[in-house]
Amino acid sequence: MHTLLIPNLPLAHIVKCIDLLDMIIHSCLIHLELPHVHSLKGRRSIINSLKEKLKAFNLSVLDVSGEYPKEADIAFAFLSPDAKHGMQYLQKIEAMIERHFGEYVWEVEHEVL
């Protein structure tokens, strides 16, 4: 299965282009609770590690966290040819998160566009 990076274009333009390709957009948000982190620097270290591991999946990744150091939010998006392949890919991503960041409480919100 192949995924495509989503360029920095307005969402309406991206959706129109994706429709022509007959692909499905998967928009996801990872929320991490970081109870043992006491500074923004400590949170940034964890976020950067997670972002690098997510980029290995060929995702578009963005840190959307606020200023509170004990929580982190990472948004990511990818394309798939159908919903089944997208869910299988998401399961692989979740397995990686559990493997590398299992000591934190986390959840993934997923939306198909």
* Whole-number Å distance between alpha carbons of 67 and 54: 22
Instruction: State the residue for tokens 């990872």.
Output: 30
Contact 43, 34 (CB under 8 A): yes
Query: 106 vs 9, which has greater pLDDT?
Result: 106
- Output the pTM of the full model: 0.76
In whole angstroms, what is the distance from residue 19 CA to residue 42 CA? 41
In a domain, 6, yes or no: no
Which residue range is the domain that position 72 belongs to?
29-112
Give the whole-number percent of the chain exceeding pLDDT 70: 81
In a domain, 3, yes or no: no
* Residue 93 resides in a domain: yes
Cα 89 to its chain centre, rounded Å, is 12
Task: Give the pLDDT confidence score for residue 2 in this predicted structure.
Answer: 46
Residue type present at position 58: N
pLDDT recorded at residue 87: 93
CATH of the domain at 90: 3.30.70
